[in-house]
Amino acid sequence: MSRATLRIATRQSALALWQAEHVAARLRAAHPELSVELVAMTTRGDQIVDRPLAAIGGKGLFLKELEVAMLEHRADIAVHSYKDVPMELEPGFAIGAVLERADAADAFISNDHARLGDLPHGARVGTSSLRRQAQLRALRPDLHLVDLRGNVNSRLAKLDAGDYAAIVLACAGIERLGLGERMRERLSPPAWLPAVAQGAIAVECRQGDAAIAELVSVLDDEATHRCTAAERAMNLQLHGNCSVPIAGYCVETETGLALWGLVGDADSGRLIRAEATGPADAPRELGERVAALLREQGADEILRRPPAAQ
């Protein structure tokens, strides 16, 4: 399949540009005749960094401008951190590929303390993620949790300025930016669960554009696609968004898939956990089963709360 030029819509942050260029390089390698260009833009989610995402409309704010560019044919595809993609896409769009997942775990980062357990009583920890806040509260109810938004480099700068004793970031993001030495402790699943689809890169395209779908399909990693499908199905069943602390992590085993799920309360640190296994060819059914198990344990009590209660 040949096409003169393919344009990739991307956010302008260093991490987003790295991910878009990674996809571009993979596409150039797979299609030597293809010219690939980046169309960088700023989204509303990037512009508003002084309020939690839940208060300004959720993670979909990182996609809107990119999707408009595709609708107006100023771009052909968009590249996202899959964890930032809403569980249901806007009409007219589809996920054309999910690349092989990087490290899905979270990282504890501090200049003065090697481990989360080493933080002194009442230490300030920066994170705006309710999922991370719930798990931090469960492990260390004494900590003072403070909102922290912005790109990876700006969050690290605030840590270095002494605003926080520690912060929590995704391992994949800091490793992609060549900052892996900043990690002090890997918060490993399943004891600590990441965001749904964390560590995976998704390629979004216009629904029904067969030529583009064919071009990007070579990037799809089947195992990652299956595992993230299970996680996202669980989240969708729970009506999850950035205003509810939901976590999920799925891996392939010799016999199929194993999925761990969590719903947490960022105020009290109460965590509800569930896990199940299932065949590799039925990831969505597995996700729905774990969601049902979480509900059986009382997850709805947390899920029904308005965002302000979190």
Cα–Cα distance for residue pair 10/24, rounded to 1 Å: 11
Query: What distance lies between CA 101 and its chain's CA centroid?
Result: 11
Residue 84 falls in the annotated catalytic set:
yes
Q: Which of 84, 103, 106, 265 is catalytic?
A: 84
Paired strand residues for 248: 261
Non-local CB neighbours of 288 within 8 Å, separated by 6+ positions: 233, 234, 237
Within 10 angstroms of residue 10's Cβ, the number of other Cβ atoms is 26
72 is written with which tokens?
Answer: 């107006």
309 is written with which tokens?
Answer: 């209660």
Cα–Cα distance for residue pair 258/252, rounded to 1 Å: 6
Paired strand residues for 257: 252, 278
The residues that are catalytic are 84
